[in-house]
A = this chain, B = another copy of it.
Amino acid sequence: MFIGEVIGTVIATRKTANMDGLPLRIVRKINTDATPTRTCVIAVDGLGADVGEYVLVTSGSAARQTRATDNRPVDAIIMAIVDTWQTQQQVQYTKFDNNS
């Protein structure tokens, strides 16, 4: 899995039969210090993530291991919305800032 930031949405009305109703988000991969990379993927979003939220993306056949994506041509999903992460005891990101 990798951490990414939701940066947008893709709309496609002409698609393979079993893709109806699956929202497609643009997710930019980020580094563990929360700086952006140049890598983006399109992922199915079953969690209702907002633009700007940090999420975990699962890739490959594992992306079909949810009820919504089972047996569908999906190779990436938003598997979780990230609350916080830390590296070497240092919080790199937290969704709920103490000052807010």
Question: In the complex, what residues of B have CB within 8 A of residue A74's CB?
Answer: 1, 58, 62, 65
Task: Pick from B31, B60, B86: contact of A8, CB below 8 A.
Answer: B86
Q: How many copies does the complex hold?
A: 5
Q: How many residues of A contact B (CB 8 A)?
A: 59
- Given A31-B40, A47-B15, decide whether A8 and B76 contact each other with a Cβ distance below 8 A: no
Among A63, A64, A89, the most chain B Cβ lie within 10 Å of the Cβ of A63
Give me the interface of A with B, judged by CB distance under 8 Å: 1-3, 7-19, 24, 26, 28, 31-32, 38, 40-43, 46-47, 51, 56, 58-67, 71-77, 79-89, 92
| A16 neighbours in B (Cβ, 8 Å) | 46-47, 66, 77, 79-80
